[in-house]
């Protein structure tokens, strides 16, 4: 009989504890853990500068984030993911033979996010307009268009269903075969991305109006380019 009563009491106590609310500075807690008082604080030593590589100490504050299971940790510091030149040598893209649209991938750059972030992708690339066969500068007076934009990929393959950061330059020249120098395309885009590995696939495209062979041309992309990727961790 005593054993039965003891088991019942332990069962009731276990149920009470499982539903108990703990209050610090209050006798009527409103949540599972309730710390009352306008100056109340909570210290987790696993998040301090001695125990966590994402805490650099000093007078700075650091964001605490929760993962999918509700585990708390320090967020990654926002900043530069990569910044470099990716075109080892100029890449030539020609229009079709009748000056129609043509495009090619100029380079691919991979990057990895450890948590959700706003990713700022900025590129610039030099353009050099030439005749279709590259033997002369353009002097026919027709407008030539060169586009740059990029696709996002999974680290290997580009998702071509959506392009980002489109920008264009229009070039024309007449009665002069000595025009020299580069034109630059540049664009910056901010994209919200989840954790994972991604790739930026920068594209170059040329278009001469889809007219005749006389309007065909080519562009050398490169001789000066840059791709900057920055992450603003949320």
Q: What would the pLDDT profile of 5-18 be if each residue is shown by its tens digit?
A: 555 545 544 544 55
The predicted pLDDT at position 78 comes to: 75
The predicted pLDDT at position 146 comes to: 98
Ranges of residues in the chain whose predicted pLDDT is under 70: 1-19, 176-180
The predicted pLDDT at position 16 comes to: 47
The predicted pLDDT at position 52 comes to: 86
Contact status, residue 215 vs residue 173, Cβ threshold 8 Å: no
The predicted pLDDT at position 27 comes to: 87
What whole-number distance in Å separates Cα of residue 129 and Cα of residue 232? 37
The predicted pLDDT at position 166 comes to: 97
Q: Would you tell me how many other CB atoms lie within 10 Å of the CB of residue 73? A: 16
The predicted pLDDT at position 101 comes to: 97
CATH of 79-233, one of 2.20.25, 1.20.1070, 1.10.3470, 2.60.120: 2.60.120
Largest CA distance in the chain: 112
The predicted pLDDT at position 177 comes to: 59
What whole-number distance in Å separates Cα of residue 200 and Cα of residue 189? 12
The predicted pLDDT at position 2 comes to: 52
Residue 60 is classified by DSSP as: -
What pTM was computed for the model?
0.75
Residue limits of CATH 2.60.120 in the chain: 79-233
The predicted pLDDT at position 207 comes to: 97
| Nearest Cα residue to 129 out of 117, 142, 138, 141 | 138
The predicted pLDDT at position 175 comes to: 75
**Mean pLDDT of all residues belonging to the chain:** 88
Q: Would you tell me how many other CB atoms lie within 10 Å of the CB of residue 142? A: 19
What whole-number distance in Å separates Cα of residue 81 and Cα of residue 92? 29
The predicted pLDDT at position 12 comes to: 45
């Amino acid at each position: 009989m005593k054993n039965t009563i003891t088991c019942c009491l332990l069962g009731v106590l276990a149920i009470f504890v499982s539903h108990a609310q703990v209050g610090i500075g209050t006798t009527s807690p409103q949540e599972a853990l309730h710390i009352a008082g306008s100056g109340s604080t909570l210290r987790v030593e696993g998040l301090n500068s001695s125990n966590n590589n994402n805490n650099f100490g000093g007078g700075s504050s650091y964001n605490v984030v929760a993962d999918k299971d509700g585990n708390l940790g320090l967020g990654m510091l926002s900043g530069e993911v990569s910044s470099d030149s990716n075109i080892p040598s100029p890449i030539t893209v020609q229009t079709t033979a009748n000056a129609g649209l043509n495009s090619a991938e100029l380079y691919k750059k991979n990057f990895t996010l450890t948590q959700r972030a706003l990713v700022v992708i900025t590129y610039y690339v030099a353009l050099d307009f030439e005749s279709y066969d590259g033997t002369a500068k353009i002097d026919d007076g027709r407008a030539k268009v060169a586009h740059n934009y990029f696709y996002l990929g999974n680290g290997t393959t580009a998702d071509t269903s959506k392009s980002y950061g489109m920008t264009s330059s229009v070039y024309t020249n007449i009665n002069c075969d000595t025009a020299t120098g580069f034109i630059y395309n540049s664009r910056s885009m901010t994209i919200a991305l989840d954790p994972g590995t991604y790739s930026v696939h920068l594209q170059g495209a040329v278009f001469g109006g889809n007219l005749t062979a006389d309007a065909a041309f080519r562009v050398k992309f490169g001789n000066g380019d840059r791709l900057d990727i920055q992450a603003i961790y949320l």
